[in-house]
Chains A and B, each alone.
Chain A
Amino acid sequence: MNQPKKFSGATTVWLFKMAWRDGKASFNKLGLFMASIVLGIAAVVSIQSFSENLKSNIAVQSKSLMGSDFKIDSNKAPNEVVMTIMDSLGGYNAREINFPSMAAFPNKEGTKFVQVRGIEGGFPFYGELETEPVNAAKTYQSNQSALVDATVMLQLNLKVGDSIKIGAISLPIAGALKSVPGSNAVFSTVAPPVVIPFEFIEASGLVQTGSRLDYEFYFVADPNTDLAALNKSIGKRLDAEEADLDIHTSTSQRLGRRYDNFGRFLNLVAFIALLLGCVGIASAIHIYIKEKLRSVALLKCLGATKRQTFLIYLIQIAVVGFLGGIIGSILGIILQQLFPVLLEGLLPVDVEITLVPNAIFMGVLLGLFMSVLFALYPLIGTLYISPLQALRIEEKSNPQSLKAGIFVLMGIFAFIFLFSYWLLKDLRYALAFVVGLVITFSILAGIAHVFMKAIKRFFPYSWGFIPRTSLLNLYRPQNQTLILVLAIGVGSFLISTLYFSKDLLLVQANMEAQENTANIILLDVQTGQQEDVAKTIKANNHQVIDNIPIVTMRMHSIGGKLVNAIKEDSTSTINRWVLNHEFRTTYRDKLIDSETLEQGEFTSKADGLDAIPISVSDNLSRDAKLEIGDEIVFNVQGVLIKTVVGSIRTVDWSRMQLNFTVLFPTGVLESAPQFRVLTTQVPDERASATLQQQLVSQFPNISVLDLRQILSVIENLLNKIGWIINFMAFFSILTGIIVLLGAVRTSKHQRIKESVLMRTIGAKSRQILKMIALEYIYLGILGSLTGIILSLVSSQLLALWIFETPFSPSVIPFVVLFPGITILVLVIGLTNNLSVIKKPPLQVLRRETN
């Protein structure tokens, strides 16, 4: 007997031809699938590409960022060893002392908390001091004048020639400082830079006990110098003398990493948009393939193999994904041009945008791969369809292989996990992201299922015909309830989470005008000044809320082992910051509101004890590997004090008040060199300005921090970041709308058939319209409300477990998002179905069949 040949003669070219023939007739539907992923891809590519550009710009401009090839810095005056090392390097080319201080502007009766930078030599050697007038940068040293931050000049209406008073000195202003190498935009907002000639630092009289001085020595290296090797050879020696060597490349790498983290977070937001689009694809392909099953059966009848029919549709999806990837990548490249504008003031360098081939390649690959992956499960359906269905026999279709389904699902999760790992570079975070995603999607899908079951079970038979029928539509065969609830729910969840998290962050920083809550902090108050400062505060009708002593010290030994020896010990697990840190400690006889005793016993007064029982914060105990009973010897400005860890406290660092890692009992440090921090509360800005002016003129060394100003800086910063996150979330929302459109359009045919039938048996346009409107209102309400409530619950949990703060959620998601999204769903649903009402039934049916 003749057996048929094993393989069909149809070529791969024919498969592509069939995919094209079939695809072009379904162009509208495939176009929507493509649109679902285009925005997600655009978002991912734009972020990825911009991050790469930023990183390479930071690397290229690394010298300009530092202003030199390398620098040695320390927060104490360099000792002989450090000076010798610097001499061996050929001596520094420029030096700087900087510190935060109050500046007064006598002509304007204004004061400002600024970062004073006293510079000697030709710094910066790379990049430039941008000033207005331009030559002020070159002449300020010889003219013995100051350069003042341009924003401060604008705020206080200062002109060139006005004077600035810093401590005991008064200098004319030579120009407005627009940018200075090494200046951080965010920090500059809190303490704007003021550049003065180096020789005036000493004369200002502000270099004294408790001053937070930073000494920096800038070097220009020979172009052939191996900076990394230099760092290796002298880094440790400098470390031992509490000085640091910073080379321009490591500074730019550190900076790059910081921005990279933010970029990764934004990438995740973008990735969510892409995932949402993929859920849309999976759902739309499901309906699309269902419509194609009869054609598949027929092709099989005519002799096509399972593989061939499967491949025809796989090719279609792959091509759509590939095109989506290309279009998305192009859009992403265009979009990244917006980022420098959106991130204005937050970027350390001017970013020159160039094409990043990696990002484009990733975008195209992502489009192709994710479309295929998410379409695979519905596509597998083509393998199981029997050719018998081409005849009139309505055979029960074979259940799709459970194994194949699980396999595809595992593939999807594995991909999401790997991709998020690639983005986050942290296994735990990637896992948490996937788990969070699964939980969110599962809850939304679960609620949609429960809702459908609940309608079935408790169906309101007593309702009128129209609301009853529209409710019925939510669980009819091929309903769109699940996908619409997912699309609407995830969109609403994302947007409202953004609102709630911003609330959470602001609550952390917020200070209500409560009585006895300090909003002015006076730093660097010398012990001898405290009474006079308190008098000035009281004379202005304010209360001194806190008067906290501060004693600076460093760790000398831990558990009997010298800190220098620990630094040398490569096996030590003690965090390095502990060994180099200058601790600002205080002493008091009780714990305060922000502190909770975790272990041991708090000693309020230490009398005649050999080792002083101190209290350490939980983060210090973790980083320094300290336990109750461990011995620490502190070097308090030359005097060694033996202490023992008596208790461990948790500290709520998020509170805007002074908190300490190391707390001494009373009776020990009272006679040590110290300075004070006083706090008070002022009712308004005018009172704050008056107090600041009086304090600065009487006590030039004191720095005054107005917490409300800092809060407004934080708020501005959060708003800026929030705006960027909103911008990224916007992609999710747009994708959600496209998925919604896709879902509505794919179910349109069935809806039209039903509506035509309704019209044929006498339903009026109004009735059909009401029916459709009600169905979308049900879906809109269910999806958006579920998303918002889910987000509220997760934000509440975040507040409870992570931020440990009471959380009063914004009402915006409820009063704006909830009705807004519901109306949007309604409008999309109605506009897509208007043709049903406008045209005669037969015409509609014929056109839809075509």
Chain B
Amino acid sequence: MTKILNVENLEKSYDSGSKKLTILKDINFSVEAKETFAIVGPSGSGKTTLLGLCAGLDQPDSGVVELCGVQLNGLTEDERALLRNKKVGFIFQDFQLLPTLTALENVAVPLELQGDKHASKRALELLEKVGLKDRTHHYPSQLSGGEQQRVALARAFSNRPEILIADEPTGNLDADTGEKVVKLLFDLNKEEGTTLVIVTHDIELAQKTGHILKLKGGQIIENTKTAL
């Protein structure tokens, strides 16, 4: 199998006043194409920082991140942005829709950035898939939390990413809605043949993936493949 994400000897620390705060230390793992992968751990364990580094949103102090066959270390910020646009899809805990754009426009943005002239058509198809065909021209503030996350799901898949990174996708939703969104996420993932990396502290959600990486205090304490 091809490795779609490969992380070697990753370290990251931040300055906290006069002290240096180590967030991640000696992180090594890899994610294979079309795999579903969960990064779990308690609050402050460094999950989101790790996710940010893997997606090229930040740069490590040391170590190597290779995403979709491209080593991120040598890339400029704009080159990393371009890579994300072509290969990565994002889902955030707080949905992160552009408030001034309608649902349809939000979904179309990643494709429009690529200059795709059929962006709207694809966005409409995806909104239909997530059950929001009649909400296409609504602004985020006119949608419920569950609906907003479904729009975010449609957007994440719009650019046909090789890897989809989800940061606590159910964190801001009630149990019922959360469950529906998770089902939709996994179904779409299967349908589109995408690699899925989820950051969560929800063990139940993690257990739905094929591979779990446990973090504690910025270090990997467990890296196991599940029975799936």
Residues in chain A within 8 A of chain B (CB atoms): 1-11, 14, 17-18, 21-22, 24-26, 294-295, 298-308, 386-388, 390-393, 395, 849-850
Contacts and interface: CB of A to CB of B under 8 A. Distances in A.
B16 to A, nearest CB: 10
A393 B52 contact: yes
Given A11-B115, A850-B141, A392 B167 contact: yes
Contacts of A306: 77-78, 81
B161 to A, nearest CB: 10
Contacts of A9: 113-116
A302 B100 contact: no
28 contacts: A4-B83, A5-B82, A6-B82, A9-B113, A25-B101, A25-B139, A298-B96, A300-B77, A300-B81, A301-B84, A302-B84, A302-B110, A303-B81, A303-B114, A304-B113, A305-B82, A306-B77, A306-B81, A307-B78, A386-B58, A387-B57, A391-B52, A391-B167, A393-B48, A393-B49, A393-B52, A849-B141, A850-B141
Interface stretch (B85-93, B121-129, B217-225): B85-93
Contacts of A299: 98, 109
B21 to A, nearest CB: 12
B100 A392 contact: no
B28 interface: no
Given A22-B100, A391-B57, A392-B93, A14 B113 contact: yes
A303 B141 contact: no
Contact of B69 (A2, A10, A294, A395): A2
Contacts of B114: 8-10, 303
B57 A1 contact: no
Contacts of A387: 57, 81
A93 to B, nearest CB: 75
B131 interface: no
Contacts of A25: 99-101, 139
Contacts of B112: 10, 14, 17-18
Contact of B48 (A14, A303, A392): A392
B110 to A, nearest CB: 5
B198 to A, nearest CB: 14
Interface in B121-154: 139, 141-142
B57 A4 contact: no
Interface of B: 48-49, 51-52, 55, 57-58, 66, 68-71, 75, 77-79, 81-86, 90, 92-94, 96, 98-101, 105, 109-110, 112-116, 139, 141-142, 155, 159, 167
A24 B139 CA distance: 13
A301 B115 CA distance: 17
Nearest to A383: B77
Contacts of A388: 52, 57-58
Ranked nearest first, the 6 interchain pairs of A and B with the lowest CB-CB distance are: A303-B85, A9-B115, A25-B100, A850-B141, A305-B78, A22-B100
Contacts, number: 123
A301 B85 CA distance: 8
A392 B79 CA distance: 23
A10 B100 contact: no
Given A26-B100, A303-B110, A306-B77, A392 B94 contact: yes
Contact of B98 (A1, A4, A298, A305): A298
A757 B63 CA distance: 45
A390 B49 CA distance: 12
B81 A305 contact: yes
Contact of B113 (A302, A307, A386, A395): A302
Nearest to A291: B99
Nearest to A11: B115
Nearest to A9: B115
Given A21-B101, A388-B52, 15 more contacts: A4-B82, A4-B86, A8-B85, A9-B116, A298-B96, A298-B98, A299-B98, A302-B85, A302-B110, A303-B83, A304-B81, A305-B81, A390-B57, A390-B96, A392-B94
A693 B105 CA distance: 89
Given A11-B115, A393-B49, A303 B96 contact: no
B83 to A, nearest CB: 5
A682 B108 CA distance: 88
Nearest to B89: A302
B70 A391 contact: no
A18 B112 CA distance: 10
B115 A14 contact: yes
Nearest to A849: B141
A213 to B, nearest CB: 78
A390 to B, nearest CB: 6
A750 B142 CA distance: 21
A10 B115 contact: yes
Contacts of B68: 2
B162 to A, nearest CB: 11
A295 B96 CA distance: 8
A17 B71 CA distance: 33
A850 to B, nearest CB: 4
A295 B78 contact: no
B100 to A, nearest CB: 4
Nearest to A298: B96
Contacts of B51: 391
A14 B77 CA distance: 21
A395 B16 CA distance: 11
A387 B72 CA distance: 15
A14 B115 CA distance: 8
Contacts of B84: 301-303
A387 B84 CA distance: 11
Contacts of A849: 141
Contacts of B55: 301
Contacts of B98: 22, 295, 298-299
Contacts of A308: 113
Contacts of B52: 388, 391, 393
Given A2-B70, A8-B82, A21-B105, A295 B167 contact: no
Contacts of A395: 58
A303 B113 contact: yes
A8 B113 contact: yes
A1 B113 contact: no
A7 B85 CA distance: 11
Nearest to A17: B112
A628 to B, nearest CB: 73
A850 B138 CA distance: 12
B113 A301 contact: no
Contacts of B142: 850
Given A388-B52, A391-B167, A392-B167, A303 B82 contact: yes
Contacts of A10: 112-115
Contacts of A24: 100
Contacts of A6: 79, 82
Nearest to A14: B112
A11 B119 CA distance: 13
A723 to B, nearest CB: 46
Nearest to A847: B141
A302 B48 CA distance: 17
B73 to A, nearest CB: 12
A391 B48 contact: yes
A360 B57 CA distance: 47
B177 to A, nearest CB: 19
A306 B114 CA distance: 15
A584 B143 CA distance: 89
A535 to B, nearest CB: 90
Nearest to B77: A306
B195 to A, nearest CB: 16
Given A2-B69, A391-B92, A849-B141, A22 B113 contact: no
Given A4-B82, A8-B85, A295 B57 contact: no
B109 A302 contact: yes
B190 to A, nearest CB: 23
A2 B86 CA distance: 12
Contacts of B71: 1
B70 A1 contact: yes
Contacts of A392: 48, 93-94, 167
A619 B84 CA distance: 76
